[in-house]
Structure 1
Amino acid sequence: MSEFQLKSGDLVTAAYKSGEYVGELVELYPPRVAVVKILAVLVHPTQGDLHHPFAANVPLFHQRRALAYGEKASAPLASVRPYDGEVPEYKASLKKALEEQISKLREDTSEWAQRSLVQLKELQKEYFAE
């Protein structure tokens, strides 16, 4: 276990698949799992196949959505850390994380990056359709 004590109700950061989030700790299942209620997005999930990262020629190139506001996720306990900042508003945090990922991928000319950009732009339309 870690050097800090976590309890239900604590604000935490947690990694889930390839995204990173701010959330409220709901339950702990040591030594491996923490259930976290999602409040904000820090890093948008990476597109593609998690088992073949950065590979474009895979049988299924996954479109990976960010976890939704209030969604509960079982995050690896090793990825959970206390969070002491102000929690950003969910929609604004999602937009920022998505724009940061798109910006990074625009600099990458690989086939994986270009396929990822297509997926992220589709998600952008879905997330922010009014």
Structure 2
Amino acid sequence: MSSFQLGDHVIAEYKTGVYYGEVVEMSSTMKAAVRILAVKEHPTQGDLHNPMDPSVAFFHQRRALSYQEIALMPISTIRSYAGAIPDYQVSLERALMAQISKLSEMEAWARRSLQELSQLQKEYFPKSN
């Protein structure tokens, strides 16, 4: 298990988001408090227990952790980071736009897949159409 020091820059996962941060407290051998400095990957929306299901009872809207917010994170989700920390606002916009782009691509892929499957359905079962 890695041992972190106060002030170490890290990349840390919190729920479904990934952040650049700084270790501010080692609360135990299992968890560390990390101050958020930038967003690497925006959190995923929806129900974590039913991924990709838009019709769950409660579809969660997940906000990115705020600049300077401190989150208690399992050590297993934290790794050292030696690179430059991007500006929080710039990183938040980049992460949000990447998530939107990814979902838009999935949406386009799903539409195209449905077209192809519809064509195959006509070929497989010509008398049903």
TM category (shorter chain) comes to: 0.7 to 0.9
**1:42 aligned partner, one-letter code:** K
Mapped to 2, the partners of 1:82 and 1:71 lie a distance apart of 19
**1:17 aligned partner, one-letter code:** K
Q: Over aligned residues, Cα RMSD in angstroms?
A: 1.2
Asked if the contact 1:30/1:77 (under 8 Å) is kept, the reply is: no
Gaps of 5+ in 1: 111-130
Confirm or deny that 1:42 pairs with 2:40. Answer: yes
Confirm or deny that 1:83 pairs with 2:77. Answer: no
Runs in 1 of length 4+ with deviation above 6 angstroms? none
> Structure 1 residue aligned with 2:68, among 67, 70, 77?
70
Q: Which residue of 1 aligns with 2:30?
A: 32
Mapped to 2, the partners of 1:31 and 1:56 lie a distance apart of 38
Secondary structure of the residue aligned to 1:107 is: helix
Mapped to 1, the partners of 2:82 and 2:18 lie a distance apart of 15
Mapped to 2, the partners of 1:16 and 1:84 lie a distance apart of 19
Structure ranking higher in helix proportion: 2
> Structure 2 residue aligned with 1:104, among 69, 88, 102?
102
Mapped to 2, the partners of 1:85 and 1:23 lie a distance apart of 11
Mapped to 2, the partners of 1:102 and 1:62 lie a distance apart of 16
Asked if the contact 1:14/1:23 (under 8 Å) is kept, the reply is: yes
Q: Which has the larger radius of gyration?
A: 2
Secondary structure of the residue aligned to 1:108 is: helix
Q: Which residue of 2 aligns with 1:55?
A: 53
**1:106 aligned partner, one-letter code:** S
Relative to the length of structure 1, the TM-score reads 0.78
State how many pairs are aligned. 108
Mapped to 1, the partners of 2:46 and 2:88 lie a distance apart of 24
Relative to the length of structure 2, the TM-score reads 0.79
> Structure 1 residue aligned with 2:10, among 9, 12, 36?
12
Shift of 1:20: 0.2
Mapped to 2, the partners of 1:33 and 1:91 lie a distance apart of 27
Q: Which residue of 1 aligns with 2:123?
A: none
